[in-house]
């Protein structure tokens, strides 16, 4: 048995006619940069998550950079990021001369540990840094605990950027991810729950000033026209073709989130008691960008990998090395108590095939092979 880890072809087959028509419209009008579909998609994305503004950009990494730029992050500032995440969350910070400070994650949700954040803030202050911003990550599709994180941030004068590259569309106590933080960033990398057919990203915010700054910064810092540069910006615009594709994907996104719940529940029912299965706190709903189980040891994970490989089942490890242990980041500060949960997860997590079109029969074969 062989199967895709994420079945983009099944989704494409479902909406192929709509995609062909959308792409055809862009080819017909020929406005490939900042065409009308970009504005249409931004409006629909803002409405979907309940934010006042949505602004497309070239990719999720640029979205993080633009958010930090809009908030005025600079040299001497400390930006607090979880260590158990993809490199993009942290790599944007040194670009602006600021310092990433690594924070541990919780053992049940994989998301930022607020007690570790408190220790990291105190440590950064003692090191002479100015705490400026915290970037919680909605890892694997589950929202971080913003009701715990935001008060700590405000007490210490920190902005909050929600890195929702994996969690856009999730819900948190009746609110949709995209309108929980000062600025939310997301990625439309093809493998994301809401992905395009190339690179793409977006930022959402309720703040008019931030929205105006981001709109300028993503387009070379321009003012009234393209030759009026008001600030140092960058070239990070969402392609019209990708916006047109995303409009059609957004139309089925809510339905796909429902199907992801079905797949996740079937996995949990089949695997709980034998492996650590994901925890979703009461009042939260994940988009299940990944379905990640935890083994008791690295050796047991190796056994799972071997069994699934023999059965033709793809798996992935997100993430085999926490950021604080990587060469590029190992000299940056971190929680002085260490990051034991991040270290432990790196040795014991494994992610299984997850997408809205994973049939029950195929999923049962995956569960059977793992057990």
What's the rounded Cα separation, in Å, for the pair 137 and 167? 8
Model's pTM, two decimal places? Answer: 0.97
Q: Under a CB-based contact definition with an 8 Å cutoff, are residues 160 and 136 in contact? A: yes
All domains of the chain, ordered by start, with CATH?
8-249 (3.40.640.10), 254-370 (3.90.1150.10)
pLDDT in the model for residue 120: 98
State how beta strands 201-205 and 183-187 pair. Answer: antiparallel
What's phi and psi for 339, nearest 5 deg?
Answer: -130, 60
Which of 167, 169, 187, 176 lies closest to 242, judged by CA?
187
Q: What is the C-alpha to C-alpha distance for residues 200 and 197, in angstroms, rounded to an integer? A: 9
How far is the CA of 123 from the CAs of 21, 29, 277, 339, in angstroms?
55, 55, 33, 14
pLDDT 10s digit of each residue in the chain, 371 long?
478 999 999 999 999 999 999 999 999 999 999 999 999 999 999 999 999 999 999 999 999 999 999 999 999 999 999 999 999 999 999 999 999 999 999 999 999 999 999 999 999 999 999 999 999 999 999 999 999 999 999 999 999 999 999 999 999 999 999 999 999 999 999 999 999 999 999 999 999 999 999 999 999 999 988 888 899 999 999 999 999 999 999 999 999 999 999 999 999 999 999 999 999 999 999 999 999 999 999 999 999 999 999 999 999 999 999 999 999 999 999 999 999 999 999 999 999 999 999 999 999 999 999 99
Token pair for residue 109? Answer: 């949700």
Spell out the alpha helix ranges (H) of 156-219.
Answer: 208-217
What is the rounded distance in angstroms from the CA atom of residue 269 to the CA atom of residue 265?
6
pLDDT digits (tens, 9 = 90+) for 309-339: 999 999 999 999 999 999 999 999 999 999 9
The whole-number pLDDT of residue 226 equals 82
Residue 224: the pLDDT is 85
Give residue 225's pLDDT.
85
- What the block records as the tokens of 112 is 């930022």
* 99, two tokens: 């310092």
Largest alpha-carbon pair distance within the chain? 62
CA 323/CA 87 separation, integer angstroms = 7
DSSP letters, 307-356, are HHHHTT---B-S-SS-GGGSTTTTTS-B-TT--HHHHHHHHHEEEE---T
Judge contact between 315 and 351, C-beta under 8 A.
yes
């Amino acid at each position: 048995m062989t199967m895709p880890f994420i079945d983009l072809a099944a989704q494409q087959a479902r909406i192929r006619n709509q995609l062909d028509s959308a792409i055809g419209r862009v080819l017909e009008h020929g406005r490939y940069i900042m065409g009308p579909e970009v504005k249409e998609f931004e409006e629909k994305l803002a409405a979907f998550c309940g934010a006042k503004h949505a602004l497309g950009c070239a990719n999720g990494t640029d979205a993080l950079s633009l958010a930090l730029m809009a908030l005025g992050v600079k040299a001497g500032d400390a930006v607090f990021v979880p260590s158990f995440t993809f490199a993009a969350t942290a790599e944007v910070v040194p670009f602006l001369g600021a310092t990433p400070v690594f924070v541990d994650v919780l053992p049940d949700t994989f998301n930022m540990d607020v007690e570790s954040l408190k220790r990291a803030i105190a440590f950064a202050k003692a090191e002479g840094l100015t705490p400026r911003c915290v970037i919680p990550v909605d890892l694997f599709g589950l929202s971080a605990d913003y009701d715990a994180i935001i008060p700590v941030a405000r007490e210490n004068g920190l902005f909050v950027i929600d890195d929702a590259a994996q969690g856009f569309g999730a819900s948190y106590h009746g609110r949709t991810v995209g309108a929980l933080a000062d600025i939310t960033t997301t990625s439309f990398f093809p493998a994301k729950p809401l992905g395009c057919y190339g690179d793409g990203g977006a930022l959402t915010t309720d703040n008019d000033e931030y929205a105006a700054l981001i709109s300028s910064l993503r387009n070379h810092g321009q003012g009234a026209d393209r030759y009026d540069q008001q600030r140092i910006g960058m070239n990070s615009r969402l392609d019209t073709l990708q916006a047109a594709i995303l409009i059609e994907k957004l139309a089925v996104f809510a339905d796909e989130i429902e199907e992801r719940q079905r797949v996740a529940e079937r996995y949990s029912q089949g695997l709980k008691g034998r492996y650590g299965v994901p925890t979703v706190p009461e009042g939260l709903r994940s988009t299940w960008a990944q379905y990640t189980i935890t083994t008791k040891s690295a050796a047991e994970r190796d056994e799972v990998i071997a069994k699934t490989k023999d059965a033709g089942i793809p798996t992935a490890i997100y993430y085999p090395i926490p950021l604080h242990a990587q060469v590029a980041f190992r000299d940056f500060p971190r929680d002085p108590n260490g990051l034991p949960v991040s270290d432990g997860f790196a040795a014991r997590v494994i992610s299984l095939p997850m997408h809205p079109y994973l049939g029950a029969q195929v999923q049962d074969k995956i569960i059977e092979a793992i057990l």
